[in-house]
Each structure stands twice: as structure tokens, then as C-alpha cells.
Structure 1
């Protein structure tokens, strides 16, 4: 964690305002790789750290305090690495996981599509087999690290023409690849530095060896690997935003004095009360996220509702705390490009990044009722 903290403080934080202008956080990502953190979720047998959900949520929180775009950019690399590692073949370990662990390869997810919206587990991208090659045709949207990564974990329909409806596959697509065409960077309200882009796949060919697991394994990957790691990466990132907002408020209250009385804002009981409420909200949400990560790592009975609720609660916390901090700090926080203004814009993405908060609340309820998550 000390290495992540050093990169956050020395590299990510000084560049946060520049990254918010739409610049991809290359310096911080390369610094993390240089510090040996590219393989955080890669197995030790491939040179990685072999760490899991708890480490990921902690690292992303540390980075998120400094720069949310940096945190989500790194987080999606770690999620993609975990997906590759879950059923990696010896060939994939050598060609992908070892370079990832050595800091020479950046990966990410490419699951979302324009036609299926937040239901990223239902891809429409087509996959067909021609001898020893898979051919992909389709469109992906909101790809974090789009055009910046060395490979993309992509979801597709199953390749076999007689495969049952609803079977999907995962393959790794290297970049560059002939037929992989990137759209311009998407300009959002916040999270402006994560190079979120759409991509067209026009007859992209990859070796059959790039299939992850077996054909039709995509749903297993989504709910056994993608969802847990994705939810923890996002939870950590948005916890970082909430914590950074809280610190902005505390520091402002300690600095600010009324010139006509000489009295510090920190001496006002009402702001003491409100700051205390915000601290408690951040801390109890952090405890939920850390517990959920541990519950999932140990296969605990409440892993599913814990993971789903963690990201939903973190989303509420990040938006709520950033909003309240802006009120506590007044006009100085409302100005354009102020840190709290950036935190509030970045935090707002937490509710809409799939799985959305509404979806996660529904999944939690269905899990508690013993119902399948994707049932009608």
C-alpha cells in the first residue's frame, strides 16, 4: 500500500487538474507499473502479487483520493488481469500475465455495448470460428483505457452456430488489431481522464488461443470474476472521492476565519456536528466495502449482497458527502475547477456506471430472497 500511496501523492495528485481536462493519466499508470503494481491481481506463478478484492479496494481508494480517473483506469486494468488469470492457459500466462506482472502490458474490459445499455452481461458482438482463428464483429461502448491498453477482455456471443441462446464467450483482443476502430474520446461530466471510448470490430481476427476458458463461459466470468472485482475497484475509487471531499472540508474549516470576529469556522458547533456526521458516513461505508471484499474472498454466505450493497452504498456516500462538503465550504467550493467541484462531478458517475445502483439494490433483494439475479 505504501507504493500506491507514494504514486498517489507524488504523481497522481499533482496532475489531477490536468487529468480532469481529458488527459489520460499515463504518468501515474506507468509509475504504478514501475513500482511492480501492474500485477496486483495476477498470480504469483506469473510474477504477480497474487492479491485479491481487499487489496484492490484499498489501492483504488488510495488512488481515488488523489485522482478518480487514475483510480478507475488502474482499477479496470486490475479487473481485466483477474479475468485473464481466472482460467489462464499456460500460453496465456506467458503471453499476457507475465508481461502484465512485469509492467509491460496494460489490459482492461470491453463489455458494454450501445444496444444493451447497462446490461453488460448480454453482449451482441458476434464471434465465429474460421480454422484456428476467431473473427469478431460488433460494437463496444464506454471502454475505459480505450485505445490506450495493450489488450481488451471482450464479451461476445458463443462461437458455435448451434450453441444455445444466451451463451456468451470472452476473448482477449490485442491492440493494435486489423479491424479494431476506435471512436473519439467520450466527454463526460466527470471521470474525464479515463479515455472512455467506443470501438467497432470489423472482422477482427484473433487466435483461438485467446479464448478465455471455454466457449459459453462468459456468464461465469461475469458473476464469478468480473462483478466482484469490478464492484470493488469502483467502490474503492468512489470511497477515495468521498474521503478526499471530507478532508477538503476539514482543512477549509480549520483555515477559515471571519475577519470581523476573528472566530474560526472550526469553532462553530453546527459545522462540527455536520463534519462529524460526514466522517461517520464515510467510515461506515468503508467498513462495509472492506468487509464485503473479505466475505467474497473467503466464500462467505453474504458475499453477493455484500458486494452489491457495497458499491451502491459507496455511490450514495460519495455523491452525498461531496454535495454536503460543497455546502459546508460555501462559494469557495462552488467555483469552476475547484477540487470539490471535481469530486462532485466524478462522484456522480458512481450511480450510472453499470451495474447501476438500482440494479445492485435489486440484486441484493433477490439474493436475500434466494432468487436468481437475472430472473424475470
Structure 2
């Protein structure tokens, strides 16, 4: 199916069930069950799964646009979908025939949800240095021990892409790896439900892995491949999904303030707000900010799909710039909408709370700009 038709399906669902469920997702900090299941039923959760596995065979450009479409009505749902997409892309990058059959084909059929489990307590934004241990207990099995934090779709996904570090003497210094842990694995202990001020529906929970045993064939790629996955797959897809989500949020704020200006008028003069030159100018600047940020993301995603030399730098910049765009556009839109925007139940309430997460969601905006600066100065990306 061509990308334009796929995106049309995303828009139909976004304007229907996803938008309908969005208020309860935020108010009750509820994982978007109906929306995610419908995305599965329509097989849209197979967006980035290779065609040979029954998926749509799309890449970064498609994922960014899909998250943008969903993010315009529910940033929480876009985040849940996006993290599934990143997890699926990681699985597909070096999938063995057995992994294709067990995971990618069910994902393509809408029967399996996945997600990432990378962040850990104590490592902050340095999610690429896991402390969760991977121990070979036999030629056929590994055992995992450790803790993860901020696991999106936590407790709802069917599998989790977990980052680990080898601990055997022969494993080598910092031999980081990625592995698939299924939800039914013994030894998984979930923390309390997520109750943030924003992004309240993403079920971003902590996870303790206590002597969790997995088959050896659940290892992704070879032992020690985690840093390859981080920079070749996780970072591009994660940055794109996040940027798309927050770009959708910024567009929602722009649309809402435009509607406000079109509908409101001064009672004493009858003059509509959309006729006020100053407001016209300020709305125009917001449109330009959103549009130029959108073009940066689309350019970066296309570069990434084409494996262009500057793709990683562009994607780093896209996520950072979208974070600024989302926060600034929501803030300015609320100012233009006046006092009515500051009601607890206003159209901007959720946008304000969700937008602020853009800067703190790892990689943080400061870390992204630091990485860009290091690359420009020929310094190692992962410096101290």
C-alpha cells in the first residue's frame, strides 16, 4: 500500500477513535487500549516491519508522519505507537529467521506489540550505558538481572527490547547487547502505574528483572552489538518518532489558536480577533516556526532512509528543534488565546503539560546539541 494511503488510514483513526479516547487517556492516566488495539486491527503496527515478514516495509519518513498525525489528537498515543515502531525496527535490523517468524510476522499481522526498555535508574540520559546484566547460563539460555525505568507501554506490550551488559570474564569490557524479553517471562516485576503531569497515557513504568531466563535465540544480532543498534537503529527511529509526536502537538496548538482567533470577536466593537494585524502577524510567525521545523524533520528522515552521510546529525537536530518548537508554540498560542486558555479544562491544558516532556525525554535537548557540537569538532560522540 502506498504511503499516502497508509497515512490516510492513520488520519481516519486519529480523527475517530484516537481523538475520542484521548480525554480519558489523559484524565485517567489510562493506557490507550482502544486506540492501540485498533491500530493493530488495521495492521498499522506493522508499518516498519519488512514486507518479507508481511509488514508495510516503511521507514523513518513514514514513522515520523504517522506519529505526527496521531500526535495532533493524542501525544500519549503517538508515543505508545512510536515506541512500538522503534522496537519493531530494532528487531528487524538483524533478525534471524526464527525471530522473524516469532516476532516480526505477528507484529505485521497486528497480533504483537513491542517496545524499548533501555533507560535505567542512576544513568540519567545516558541510556546507552546499561547496567542490567546478561549472563550465559548455558549454551541455550541467558539470564538477565537489573532494573529499567520509563518503559513506555510498560505492562501492556507483548515483548520488550532490553539493553544489557555482559558480566562473564570472557564477555569483554562493556560488551553491551540487546535482547527480547517476552511479557510472560518469569521474574518480571512492574513498578507502580505512571502518574506524570503530562504524557499521562504512555504507561511509562519501571521494571525489575530478577533472574529472568530467556532463550539464547532472543539475543538480537551478536553479543556486543548494542552500540551498533543504538546509533544505527534506536537513535534514528526513536528521534524520528519523538520528533513526529511533538510536531503533531505543535500543529494541534497552532490549529486551536487559529480556530480561537477565527471565532472570537470584541463585543464592544464587533471586530473579530482574526482582523487584528498584530494577531495576524503573531499567528504567521507560529505557522512559519512549525513549518520550518516540519521540513527539517522530513529532510532528516528522508536522509536517514537513504542512509545519507548527514542523517544522524539532522535527526539529532530535528528532535531538539521540535522540542523547542512544541514548547514555544504552545506557550505563544496560549498567550494569543487569552485568559480562556488558562482554564483547567481548556483545549490547551493537555498540550501545555505534554509539550514540556519534549526537552527532558532522553536524549535531552541539551545532550542532543552537545552531540552535534562534538561531531562538528571531530570529538567522540559519547564523551564524558
- TM-score, scaled relative to structure 2: 0.96
Q: CA deviation at 1:159?
A: 5.3
**Structural mapping, 1:157-172, within 5 Å:** 157-158=165-166, 160-172=168-180
SS in 2 for 1:146: coil
Aligned residues: 376
Q: Which residue number in structure 2 is paired with residue 295 of structure 1?
A: 303
Contact 1:96 1:105 in 2 (8 A): yes
Q: CA deviation at 1:371?
A: 2.2
Q: Which residue number in structure 2 is paired with residue 368 of structure 1?
A: 376
Q: Which residue number in structure 2 is paired with residue 70 of structure 1?
A: 77
Is 1:197 the counterpart of 2:170 in the alignment?
A: no
Q: Which residue number in structure 1 is paired with residue 14 of structure 2?
A: 8
Contact 1:73 1:144 in 2 (8 A): yes
Contact 1:304 1:367 in 2 (8 A): no
Q: Distance in 1 between matches of 2:160 and 2:127?
A: 15
Of the three residues 341, 352, 357, the one matched with 1:349 is 357
Q: Which residue number in structure 1 is paired with residue 59 of structure 2?
A: 52
Q: What is the Cα-based RMSD across aligned positions, in Å?
A: 0.9
Q: Distance in 2 between matches of 1:130 and 1:162?
A: 13
Of the three residues 80, 103, 115, the one matched with 2:110 is 103
Deviates more, 1:257-266 or 1:232-241: 257-266
Is 1:214 the counterpart of 2:222 in the alignment?
A: yes
Q: Distance in 1 between matches of 2:43 and 2:115?
A: 18
SS in 1 for 2:135: strand
Q: Which residue number in structure 1 is paired with residue 4 of structure 2?
A: none
Structure 1 unaligned regions, length at least 5: none
Q: Distance in 2 between matches of 1:124 and 1:207?
A: 20
Q: Distance in 2 between matches of 1:273 and 1:57?
A: 29
Q: Which residue number in structure 2 is paired with residue 20 of structure 1?
A: 26
SS in 2 for 1:186: coil
Deviates more, 1:181-190 or 1:85-94: 181-190
Q: Which residue number in structure 1 is paired with residue 314 of structure 2?
A: 306
Q: Distance in 2 between matches of 1:299 and 1:93?
A: 23
Could you list the structure 1 runs, at least 4 aligned residues long, displaced by more than 3 angstroms after superposition: none
Q: Distance in 2 between matches of 1:127 and 1:301?
A: 33
Of the three residues 252, 260, 267, the one matched with 1:252 is 260
SS in 1 for 2:170: coil
Deviations 1:294-330 (A, max 9, x none): 1111122211210100000000000000000010001
Q: Which residue number in structure 1 is paired with residue 273 of structure 2?
A: 265
Q: Distance in 2 between matches of 1:185 and 1:368?
A: 41
